[in-house]
Amino acid sequence: MSRYVKRQKATNENEQYDKLFEKRGVDKVIQYRSPTAKYITDEQIARVDCYKYSWKHGDSFEKLAQEYYGSPTEWWVIASFNRKPTESHVELGEIIKIPISLADAMQVVE
């Protein structure tokens, strides 16, 4: 299933783009809207047992997901539980939460 199935579409007919539309031979452009990030709540986080981990130099969500879940592709679960979209939002020495059970965490974040 395409990741765009549930995404809203918007039509761009703004006159500031008239020259570009003319160059492309169209009178409007239909675009997918950017999704809004939805962070899980404190109550949802509290329902899942987590390890507490002190962020170190060289850490990444992918490396931690590989270490704790056996797959770097589950990095987004750790990021979601900490409300950190990227590693650059985590400070050295900051304590982050890593859900112990990936299955329990997935029920909360999806």
What is residue 1's predicted lDDT score, i.e. its pLDDT? Answer: 59
Q: In whole angstroms, give the CA distance from residue 77 to residue 107.
A: 11
pLDDT of residue 48: 95
Q: Is the dihedral of CA 100, 103, 106, 108 positive or negative?
A: negative
| Cα four-point dihedral sign 41, 65, 93, 47 | positive
- Reading the chain (110 residues) residue by residue, the pLDDT tens digits are 566 777 788 888 788 888 888 899 988 888 888 777 678 899 999 999 999 999 999 999 999 999 999 999 999 999 999 999 899 999 999 999 999 999 999 888 86
Tokens 């997901």 found at: 65
Quick check: 61 and 78 in contact, CB under 8 A?
yes
Q: Tokens at residue 85, please? A: 């979209």
| CA torsion through residues 11, 16, 17, 18, sign | positive
Q: Could you tell me the two tokens for 91?
A: 């400070």
Q: How many CB atoms lie within 10 A of CB 97?
A: 17
